[in-house]
Amino acid sequence: MNLRGWEIPLLLIVVILLFGAKRLPELARSVGKSMRILKDEVRPKDEGTDSTNPSGPADAGDDKRP
């Protein structure tokens, strides 16, 4: 199914009418969270990895840039 240029704005208008502009961020967050959970469940489990921490290794956020 290929979407043409005019179909994308039409689809966005229908989504906004159905869900309302105030609920769209909440809907996007829940879809993103569901996709992360699905990705973690589908990923092959290695013996050395900890699947309970979806954010990755503990030192991933310790990037100290000058």
Query: In which region does residue 19 sit, left (phi positive, over 0), alpha (psi from -120 to 50) or beta (all else)?
Result: alpha
pLDDT value for 34: 94
pLDDT value for 32: 93
Q: Does the reported pTM lie above 0.85?
A: no
Q: Which residues in the chain show pLDDT less than 70?
A: 1, 47-66
Q: Which of 30, 59, 54, 33 is nearest to 43 (CA)?
A: 54
pLDDT value for 29: 92
pLDDT value for 57: 58
